Chains A and B, each alone.
Chain A
């Protein structure tokens, strides 16, 4: 059974930093792209970033480029999102999502971790 467990969210001041983690199990982690998708309170879904199975390719939505960094440790089956220069508009539940075999869509999701950016 595929399981994705996010951690690392919390309250941070504007301009601060946070690192999210996603521990994966139940599949061959290194074979799949992984993404971060966020959802602001009461709002819809917004794709944030994707990393290829090897970690060699990364992609970001424009609003986080230069501030967020996605990475993975395939030896630990763990996905990361390093978030710097955080803004109030980054407040959201951040979901870790597993990519499907050959498509940029998400066939399994974690339960999410809430990040709140506020002074």
Chain B
């Protein structure tokens, strides 16, 4: 099973600032990596797939990078609606499909 590890667990950022979230895989997942956003009381929403391709309707301030075992989600200028929990997920080698533990982006 591929273990996904996200850091930090919590990120405190001021509106308008840049946020950088990390995701590490226990073995290479190539670029088979997705990012999701989840707001309180809501279902997750797909943001990024293929490590760097934005899903339909996702604003350009969200960008993904990385390959192999190290990945980054960057939010270039945080808006109020971006404060949420972000999860990475690998789909390179499954079952099982595995998620990281999440990074909570909170208002500083």
Contacts and interface: CB of A to CB of B under 8 A. Distances in A.
17 contacts: A44-B102, A45-B44, A45-B87, A45-B89, A45-B102, A46-B99, A47-B95, A47-B98, A61-B96, A62-B96, A100-B46, A100-B49, A103-B49, A105-B34, A105-B89, A105-B91, A108-B46
B45 to A, nearest CB: 7
Interface in B72-108: 87, 89, 91, 94-102
Contacts of A62: 96
Interface residues of B, number: 24
Contact of B43 (A95, A104, A105): A95
Contact of A105 (B42, B46, B95, B100): B46
Given A95-B43, A105-B34, A109-B45, A61 B95 contact: yes
A35 B45 CA distance: 15
Report, as a range, how many residues of chain A touch the other chain: 20 to 34
A90 interface: no
Interface of A: 35, 37, 44-47, 50, 59-62, 95, 100, 103-112
A104 B96 contact: no
B12 to A, nearest CB: 19
B94 A59 contact: yes
Interface string B41-84: 01111100110000100000000000000000000000000000
